[in-house]
Amino acid sequence: MTRNDSTTTTRRAGRTRIRTLASALVAVGTAFSVCGVSVCALGATTAHAQVLAPDASPAFPSSSTSSSMTPTPAARAAGITGAGTAYMGWSSHVAGRGGASAAAPMTTGAVTPGIDVSSYQGNVDWASYWSQGKKFAYVKATENTNYTNPYFSQQYSGSSNVGMTRGSYHFATPNTTSGATQANYFVDHGGGWSADGRTLPGALDIEYNPYGATCYGLSQTSMVSWISSFLGTYHSRTGRYPVIYSTFDWWSTCTGNSSAFASLSPFWIARYSSSVGSLPAGTAYYTFWQYSSSPIDQNYFNGDLSRLHALATG
């Protein structure tokens, strides 16, 4: 090969590489224009997921790091030993946020007593609680998208076997994955609902963060969007809107006392006192009230047993 032949070949190869690079850049530009950064960053969603406004969707890591899910000292004092072990009302077990020994409060209307449990209680003596008059139970099923309650079967089936109306709940971690993703995980791991008259709609436990900042690093607007995503996806999967569990203080602080879901989801207020106290904006009455954690989380349903069955039936 002559020197001129070699030069010609080199130039042709260079032009080929340039054309290939140009095609790749066009493809990348097309992908961004079609997907949008906020959508592609979250990845593909299921057919049931709601699309949120880009400016209301925080960026979520693909999975939680061990450091971001390390319990705070307050959480450790309440028995939360690691990621996944949070439970309803954990912060009220800590002095200064209600206390755990409030006696059963006086009520003016018909109420139905029940309890809620998690892995914190382990295997539960359901026959004993049934004999004490407890008529319903909520059982923790999931947390984030990487934890399922190892006692779920004994607790969920056991409560039903003695005659209780039962439901399950998901402990939300809004800083880890989207509301839609966590709702799907919940439904796929024990959080579903069926119109059998004994299964309560699932509950979204959204409260003080046991692993860090109270509002999980989200603005009030982003938090409302996250909850909306969870509720919409759960409704698409089950035909029911989930119950929302929280405290008035957390709800006011982290959602700005939003009334966005008052007409959709029953509200479960946590307040360890002799009265329910303030309810979120737009909420005319409580559906469930967690009023004590002694010797186990104690709750009232706001109505008689027939109304509880009506909630379960849908």
- Residue 248 falls in which region: left (phi positive, over 0), alpha (psi -120 to 50) or beta: alpha
Query: DSSP label at 55?
Result: G
Express each pLDDT in 173-190 by its tens digit: 999 999 999 999 999 999
**Are 85 and 125 part of one and the same domain?**
yes
The answer to whether 304 is a known catalytic residue is no
Q: Find the CATH number of the domain harbouring 59.
A: 3.20.20.80
The pLDDT confidence band at residue 92, using thresholds 50, 70 and 90, is confident
Phi, psi at residue 243, to the nearest 5°? -70, 145
What burial letters (b/e) apply to 213-234, b meaning 16+ CB within 10 Å? eebbebeeebbbbbbbbbbbbb
Q: Is 96 exposed, middle or buried (0-12, 13-18, 19+ CB in 10 A)?
A: exposed
Report whether 195 contacts 141 (CB < 8 A): no
Residue-level length of the chain? 314
User: Which position among 55, 143, 207, 304 bears the catalytic label?
Assistant: 207
Structure tokens at 185: 């995980």
The residue annotated as part of the active site, out of 116, 143, 249, 297, is 116
- Same domain (yes/no): 95, 30: no
Show the beta-strand stretches assigned E in 118-233.
136-143, 147-148, 165-171, 203-205
Asked whether residue 44 is domain-assigned, the answer is no
Task: Indicate if 87 and 18 belong to the same structural domain.
Answer: no
Look up 196 and say whether it is catalytic: no
Among 223, 219, 205, residue whose Cα is nearest residue 269: 205
Q: Is residue 271 part of a domain?
A: yes
Q: What is the pLDDT of residues 108-143, one digit of tens each?
A: 789 999 999 999 999 999 999 999 999 999 999 999
Q: Is the pLDDT of residue 22 over 80?
A: no
2 has a pLDDT exceeding 50: no
Residue 162, classified by CB atoms within 10 Å of its CB into exposed (0-12), middle (13-18) or buried (19+), is middle
pLDDT score for 106: 72
- Same domain for 162 and 259, yes or no, is yes
- Are 15 and 88 in a shared domain? no
Q: Does residue 230 sit in the same domain as residue 190?
A: yes
- Say if 27 falls within a structural domain: yes
> How far, in Å, CA of 134 to CA of 132, rounded?
6
84 with 28, same domain: the answer is no
Q: Which residue is catalytic, options 5, 143, 188, 205?
A: 205
Residues 258 and 308 in one domain: yes
How far is it, in rounded angstroms, from Cα 209 to Cα 216?
Answer: 6
For the ranges 14-23, 57-66, 172-181, the lowest mean pLDDT is seen at: 14-23
Confidence of residue 249 (pLDDT cuts 50, 70, 90): very high
Write out the residue range of the structural domain in which residue 103 sits: 54-313
- Burial string for 247-278 (b: 16+ CB within 10 Å, else e) reads bbbbbbebbeebebbbeebbbbbbbbeeebee
Name the domain count of the chain: 2
Q: Mean pLDDT over all residues of the chain? A: 82
| Residues 139 and 106 reside in one and the same domain | yes
If asked whether residues 31 and 58 sit together in one domain, one would say no
- Asked if residue 172 and residue 26 are part of one domain, the reply reads no
Pairing of strands 267-270, 243-246: parallel
Spatial CA neighbour of 197 closest among 169, 168, 167, 170: 167
